[in-house]
Amino acid sequence: MSTHPCTHIALSEVAEVRFSSVDKHTIEGETPVRLCNYTDVFKNRFVADSMDFMAASATESEIERFGLRHGDIAITKDSETPEEIGIPALIERPSADLVLGYHLALIRAKADRCDPYFLAAALQSRQVARHYLRTAVGLTRFGLSIKAVADTPIPNIPLSTQRKIGRLYRESARLESHTDALIAAKREQKRGLMQQLLTGKVRFPGFTEPWKTVRLEDVADVRFSNVDKHTVPSERQVRLCNYTDVFRNRFLHPDMDFMSASATAREVERFGLQAGDVAITKDSETPDEIGVPALVDRTAPDLVLGYHLALLRADRSKLDPGFLLILMESDLVRAHFQRRASGLTRFALSIGAVADTPILLPPVGEQGKIAKLYRDLTTEESLLREMHASFASQRRGLMERLLSGDLVIPSSETSAA
């Protein structure tokens, strides 16, 4: 592979740009359609006709303007954070009733100027991301204007080269999509199996003792942390396990990148993390994000639980810590937390609501077996996630070099798609 200089042109020179106005309502007299919504685009690099789209309706004019065709690209044009704007998904072989929904932009490449797969790759480049960050407007919600999208810088590369890059993008991104599907299947397998094990419908051989329903406070100590993110010179220097550390991970260990802060000796005593502790989110902007748990796998003397989190410390004669983690993810506990969460714009659990959580307990030995199975399945899922991250990193690196002109694919290496 060699290099070539690369200039840029505006997206509007190689594609049409349209902002959808199709809402989620079903109105009598309009044509029934399936709606490709924000999350369909945000969570997928390819949008396939087999996906589970919502039912809605649209006028004939809306269907004509926003009905999706093979090779169209949809991007997110509005979001609560600037980083989530401009995320693209390429539409592949849609049915005639698939229409693009609100908060999305439709980009249709001109066949004689631009390859759709190349364009999908270009729209994920760092240069495009920087352009959208500069041009997004808003305070609590951010959005792109149609001019900002039309002015998106696209590498000015010959169509034959675009097709080669597009082919590489298609093959590498599809490998990521297959890995995503494996992760989803593994997650669903784990969820289904845990649901059966947590209700006693399936039991390990040798266990016949009846299960007991107890309250969480009967088998665990419940503490709400008040340790903030400040550093006070007279206090002890600590590393703080914060909300996002718990929300994004099922297992916590001292090698993770925790923030520096300080705490009093009393706070370190009460909220210093021990191996086997379970932390849960106790406040959030939505009820679904309350009660998300993480198990402390290993710890260190300076690791302390931060604000907006609850610490659950199991009585190990009655409750296996790994089983406590699984309980916090169970449908029974999730439903309890959503019922008991209070608030209008921000939701929170009281210490009483957490302490009163009903849990169904098998014998401690059986709890341990269930916890080990959960851990094994979670490890398999984590390995798939690491593989996916590796594929994604390699694809992004290769695409950046091809799009910038640092690398050129010789004609002998691959043919045009």
* pLDDT value of position 176: 81
Do 350 and 378 belong together in one domain?
A: no
**Digit-coded pLDDT (tens) for 10-39:** 999 999 999 999 999 999 999 999 999 999
SS (H, E, C) the chain: CECCCCCEEEHHHCEEEEECCCCCCCCCCCEEEEEECHHHHHCCCEEECCCCCEEEEECHHHHHHHECCCCCEEEECEECCHHHCCCEEEEECCCCCEEECCCEEEEEECCCCCCHHHHHHHCCCHHHHHHHHHHCECCCCEECCHHHHHCCEEECCCHHHHHHHHHHHHHHHHHHHHHHHHHHHHHHHHHHHHHHHHCCCCCCCCCCCCCEEEEHHHHEEEEECCCCCCCCCCCEEEEEECHHHHHCCCEECCCCCCEEEEECHHHHHHHECCCCCEEEECEECCHHHCCCEEEECCCCCCEEECCCEEEEEECCCCCCHHHHHHHHHCHHHHHHHHHHCECCCCEECCHHHHHCCEEEECCHHHHHHHHHHHHHHHHHHHHHHHHHHHHHHHHHHHHHHHHHCCCECCCCCCCCC
Do 220 and 146 belong together in one domain?
A: no
Residue count of the chain, please give it. 417
* pLDDT value of position 295: 97
* pLDDT value of position 328: 95
| Structure-derived torsion over alpha carbons of residues 162, 164, 166, 171, reported in degrees to the nearest 10 | -170
Do 123 and 230 belong together in one domain?
A: no
Do 37 and 173 belong together in one domain?
A: no
Residue 145 lies in a domain: yes
Cβ distance 167 to 299 under 8 Å?
no
| DSSP state letter for 211 | P
Residue 3 lies in a domain: no
Residue 86 lies in a domain: yes
Residue 370 lies in a domain: yes
Do 21 and 94 belong together in one domain?
A: yes
User: Where in the sequence is the domain holding 277, given as residue range(s)?
Assistant: 212-361
**What is the C-alpha to C-alpha distance for residues 257 and 273, in angstroms, rounded to an integer?**
15
Domains identified in the chain, total number: 3
* pLDDT value of position 370: 95
Which domain CATH number covers 312? 3.90.220.20
Do 134 and 16 belong together in one domain?
A: yes
Do 141 and 57 belong together in one domain?
A: yes
Residue 2 lies in a domain: no
Do 131 and 49 belong together in one domain?
A: yes
Residue 33 lies in a domain: yes
Do 386 and 270 belong together in one domain?
A: no
Residue 136 lies in a domain: yes
Residue 416 lies in a domain: no
> How far apart, in Å, are the Cα atoms of 212 and each of 76, 200, 219, 318, 364?
48, 11, 12, 11, 11
Do 185 and 314 belong together in one domain?
A: no
Regions of the chain where pLDDT drops below 70 = 1-5, 410-417
Do 309 and 395 belong together in one domain?
A: no
Do 14 and 103 belong together in one domain?
A: yes
